[in-house]
């Protein structure tokens, strides 16, 4: 196994993944991980709403195609 220099330490991300990070880069990596964690939480919070809208659109489109099986451009 390759050894990292002494100024590298393990860093565990919010999703549980772990990687070696240089001491000078830790504040930047920590900030990126914090923003990624917030984005993941926001995505989880809105998942049900957007999923419902998507299903509603699909059912509306299905009804249109049932009325005109040849497509909307056909005469």
Q: Are the beta carbons of 40 and 14 closer than 8 angstroms? A: yes
More confident residue, 4 or 56: 4
Give per-residue pLDDT as tens, 25-70.
999 999 999 999 998 888 776 666 555 555 555 555 565 555 666 6
Q: In the numeric block, which tokens belong to residue 55?
A: 């299903």
pLDDT at 40: 85
**Cross-strand pairs, 22:** 8
- pTM comes to 0.51
Report CA-CA distances (Å) from 35 to 6, 12, 14, 16: 28, 15, 10, 15
């Amino acid at each position: 196994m390759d050894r990292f220099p002494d100024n590298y330490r393990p860093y565990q991300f919010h999703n549980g993944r772990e990687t070696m990070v240089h001491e000078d880069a830790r504040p930047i990596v920590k900030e990126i991980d914090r923003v990624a964690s917030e984005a993941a939480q926001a995505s989880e919070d809105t998942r049900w709403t957007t999923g419902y809208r998507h299903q509603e659109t699909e059912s509306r489109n299905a009804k249109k195609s049932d009325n005109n099986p040849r497509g909307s451009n056909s005469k």
